[in-house]
Amino acid sequence: MREIKIFDTTLRDGEQAPGCSMHLKEKLEIALALERLNVDVIEAGFAISSKGDFDSVKSIAELIKNCTVASLARSVKKDIDAAYEAVKNAVSPRLHIFLATSPIHMQYKLKMSEDEVISKIEEMTKYAKHYISDVEFSAEDAMRSDSAFLAKAVSTAIRAGATVVNIPDTVGYASPREMSEMITYLRKNVENIDRATISVHCHNDLGLAVANSLAAVEAGADQVECTVNGLGERAGNAALEEVVMAINTRKNLYGGATRIETPEIYRTSKLVYNTLGLYAPINKAIVGTNAFAHEAGIHQHGVLQNRETYEIISPQSIGLPSNNMVFGKHSGKHAIEERLADLGHTLTKEEMEAFFESFKNLADKKKSINDADLEALLGHKISPFAEKEYKLDRFTVNSGNYVTSSAVVRLKYDEQLIEKVSIGDGPVDAAYRAVKKIVKAPEHSVDDYSIHSVTEGNDALGEVIVRIKCGDKVYTGRGLSTDVIEASIIAYINGINKLL
């Protein structure tokens, strides 16, 4: 069977989704998770877009050893120069250049004729090739391009040295039949197509990103560009976990398989959601809460007799643990460490010490701690920021339906304790106003606030997600506690530290 390559662009296209920006250390943690997942290519970012993006691409390129690391670049020399400088130290570097080929993009965005576009593709592909042998060319908005012109553009790129040619459905416009027909047309009409890998990059504006990607694979594409959890611009991209499990489940239909370590899927999905302060919709394919849940009696009966009656993939195949362990305040570090390993998490000695301290603090407040609690604690185990940051020391709130809410909050910063008091519209607002008096941060606002129960029961852990808007940027803060007011304050401080 042929190998279908998985090109992951979570750290580039996925991060472009509003509210999904990540700190460098968060990107590095996700890059390592993608390496464990065994993706073929990690698109680490758009190096020219900012110094932060350049630094993250460079850091990921130097960190990753078992995957190709790519940087996106426009078909402009300065973009390609920056991309090369960012990825040149990778074990396996790739330059990914793009230029639009659809009439609407050429006329209104590029203001270039067809001949000028073809000339630019040839010139810039050759320019990228003189740096690195592995060059990918993307024909932006390919699925709204004239098929004959697209074939000419693809042929030109391959002749100039492109090793991969990508056919993006940039605006999510295509149908699976159209995608299949386009890939088939290119395979028949591009005379040098055998010298390059055909790739697809599908957006989900009409909910067809995964279907279009699979149609392309069935028609002969050998690389799929996708993101963990389907994150990305607008409605997002093809979801990696859905594409991979569809191909691996129906190998005979698609005539190929991926090299993805599927038991890492659930862990990677949770990491990305946790990093961004998001949750999987309960009906999300593969990783949603209900993906393996059965409530209808006839379904339950069938599954008890033979799981394959209503489950075409097993929970274990994506890394969902088969049983749920319960721990308490008398549980030892070794038992916790072993359970974390069962859940797919390996911590360093220092990380384990910090995690076990958090576990003991929680065990003093909760009678029993289960896997969901451990996973939640793990997401909050280590701050990804500098040592000098604000931390919650203590707080007191006074609130009721006949009194004005007030809060006294004391924060610790660089060994100093700073305390302020404020009133507000409810205990959370009062606490946030007190924090604002302490922290010397740029003008900002709380754009969104949500609270989520991690487990069931009166002593359930509450996880608070706060989105802080400063100018045109959004920072996500997360807090975890059995006390929702404490979780709220921690989440706000976490977001403030990111802003700073």
Condensed to tens digits (0 to 9), the pLDDT of residues 181-223 reads 999 999 999 999 999 999 999 999 999 999 999 999 999 999 9
Q: What percent of the chain lies above the pLDDT cut of 70?
A: 94
Q: Are residues 365 and 487 both part of a single domain? A: no
CATH of the domain at 481: 3.30.160.270
> pLDDT tier at 309 (50, 70, 90 boundaries)?
low
What is the spatial distance between Cα 29 and Cα 14, in angstroms, rounded to a whole number? 15
pLDDT in tens, 389-402: 899 999 999 999 99
Q: Are residues 153 and 257 both part of a single domain? A: yes
pLDDT of residue 176: 98
Q: Is residue 404 part of a domain?
A: yes
pLDDT of residue 330: 84
Q: Are residues 95 and 201 both part of a single domain? A: yes
Q: Is residue 281 part of a domain?
A: no
Q: Are residues 191 and 95 both part of a single domain? A: yes
pTM score of the predicted model = 0.88
Q: Are residues 251 and 139 both part of a single domain? A: yes
pLDDT of residue 276: 87
Most confidently predicted of 235-249, 261-275, 291-305? 235-249
Question: What's the total number of domains in the chain?
Answer: 4
Residue numbers of the domain that contains 339? 326-379
Q: Are residues 267 and 352 both part of a single domain? A: no
What is the spatial distance between Cα 369 and Cα 53, in angstroms, rounded to a whole number? 39
- pLDDT for 387 beyond 60: no
Q: Is residue 137 part of a domain?
A: yes
* Phi then psi dihedrals of residue 45, to 5 deg: 155, -170
> pLDDT tier at 427 (50, 70, 90 boundaries)?
very high
Q: Are residues 358 and 212 both part of a single domain? A: no
Higher pLDDT, 381 or 1: 1
Q: Are residues 265 and 118 both part of a single domain? A: yes
Lowest mean pLDDT: which of 54-58, 88-92, 280-284, 421-425? 280-284
- pLDDT for 296 beyond 60: no
Q: Is residue 351 part of a domain?
A: yes
Q: Is residue 92 part of a domain?
A: yes
pLDDT in tens, 109-149: 999 999 999 999 999 999 999 999 999 999 999 999 999 99
Closest by CA to 221, choosing from 263, 170, 262, 180, is: 180
Q: Are residues 260 and 306 both part of a single domain? A: no
pLDDT averaged over the chain?
Answer: 91
